[in-house]
Amino acid sequence: MFDRVAERYDLLNDALSLGMDHRWRRAVARAVDGGSGQLVLDLAAGTGTSSRAFVRRGARCVACDFSLGMLSVGARKPAAGLAFVGGDALVLPFRNEAFDVVTISFGLRNVADTGQALRELLRVTRPGGRLVICEFSHLPVHRLNDLYERYLAGVLPAVASRLSRNAEAYDYLAESIRDWPAQQVLAGQIAAAGWSGVSWRNLTLGVVALHEARRPG
């Protein structure tokens, strides 16, 4: 599915989020804070849009994804300190404790087994290293959440069908956001995978949540 949407992926993101994705990515880059040569894994990195913000702040970054279509679009624009690597979140092709910071933006929801991905991320993070997850979430105010779900189910697929030849991918987007666990439930899953000090904060009223945690030791 992601191979098919790769060419227009970033354009659609900007349109469907009304440009708010830039703000969310800036928040992720500040949370990752991988300056001074730290090694960052950006998992499910797609075209590497988030990864570029990390290298601009002085990190070295491995952008890993299992969609070669997404990686190829990203690799057309090389950047110093950024490597694109094919790999599956469920069996990461990296040695234990290889990274200072691991992060995943709008990707965990798409991985088939959330717990396994969180355990793999833990395995490849050095003791004391950090996890940053940026994912669509739920608005704590129920009335607002109802309105937002109507946008997801109605407006979003209608706009996407005009801008993309793969409109069904955007039906999937709406459904996967609706079915994704609430902030607190995801925090529990992160802790259950072995991460400590789990915290989160909402961006744009909870449309997106940023979860952070640390590898013990």
Ligand X SMILES: C[S@@+](CC[C@H](N)C(=O)[O-])C[C@H]1O[C@@H](n2cnc3c(N)ncnc32)[C@H](O)[C@@H]1O
User: What is the rounded CA–CA span in Å between residue 200 and residue 133?
Assistant: 9
- Selected from 12, 65, 187, 213, the binder of ligand X by CB under 6 A is 65
- The site that binds ligand X (CB under 6 A) totals a number of residues, namely 18
Interface segment toward ligand X; rule CB under 6 A; list 75-83, 104-112, 176-184, 205-213: 104-112
- Selected from 110, 114, 137, 145, the binder of ligand X by CB under 6 A is 110
Contact between 152 and ligand X (CB under 6 A)? no
Residue positions counted in the chain: 217
Nearer residue to ligand X within complex by CB, 46 or 206? 46
Min dist CB 59 to ligand X, Å, is 16
Residues whose CB is less than 8 angstroms from the CB of residue 68 and which lie 6 or more positions away in sequence, other chains included = 3, 86
Contact between 82 and ligand X (CB under 6 A)? no
User: What is the rounded CA–CA span in Å between residue 133 and residue 201?
Assistant: 11
Range list of H helices, the chain: 2-5, 9-16, 20-32, 49-56, 68-75, 114-123, 142-150, 156-163, 167-179, 183-192
Contact between 129 and ligand X (CB under 6 A)? no
- Selected from 54, 94, 99, 106, the binder of ligand X by CB under 6 A is 106
Burial (0-12, 13-18, 19+ Cβ within 10 Å), 182: middle
Amino acid present at 154: G
Min dist CB 103 to ligand X, Å, is 9
C-alpha distances in angstroms, 172 versus 10, 35, 54, 156? Answer: 17, 35, 28, 11
Nearer residue to ligand X within complex by CB, 65 or 100? 65
Contact between 55 and ligand X (CB under 6 A)? no
Q: Which residues sit at the interface with ligand X, rule CB under 6 A?
A: 2, 44-46, 49-50, 65-67, 70, 88-90, 105-107, 110-111
